[in-house]
Amino acid sequence: MYLLIAVIVLLIILLVVFAVLNQRRYNNFLNGMWIGESIFMQNAGLSEFALYIRQTKNGAADGYILMRDTDGEVIANEIIKLSYNTCYWSTLKGAFKLNDSATAGIKITPIKELADVNKMTFSMMGGSLALYNKTKLFAYLHKDIEASALAQPI
């Protein structure tokens, strides 16, 4: 009986440790340069969409956003603040799914064009990030690995 309880407790501890480590991995993946996916930008009437994210602490990040419409007019070109919560269950579930994705709540300030965004889904294997709410997709981005590597602090 005690052996069964010990095994269950050990499994729970291992599951929590794995979830914490996996959440840290997902948070680190969010850092870097994200570029708008071409079909999404074409459908949204954008010629450029770039988002840079630099995590400052767990669940918070500074960033920079650049958005231009197809006429070349700047829609957004400013520093932003992001706050998000990647829950342990979402990252743990993503680790065992083939698409390796996680969903989190997010808030982006002070960009009015993205004020209604309250969810993000990102995939490490697909290198993609989607910003949306229940009714609208606001951005579909791909991670620019080279630019992200260059932007890392030394």
C-alpha 137/C-alpha 151 separation (Å) is: 27
Residue ranges of domains in the chain: 2-150
Mean pLDDT by 10 residues, the chain (154 residues): 89 80 77 94 94 82 92 92 71 56 79 86 86 92 89 66
C-alpha 30/C-alpha 58 separation (Å) is: 11
The pLDDT of residue 126 is 84
Prediction pTM value: 0.79
Q: Which fold has domain 2-150?
A: Lipocalin (2.40.128)
- C-alpha torsion 37→92→31→135, nearest 10: 40
What is the sign, positive or negative, of the torsion defined by CA atoms of 136, 142, 111, 107? positive
**Do the beta carbons of residue 87 and residue 58 sit within 8 Å?**
no
C-alpha 91/C-alpha 13 separation (Å) is: 16
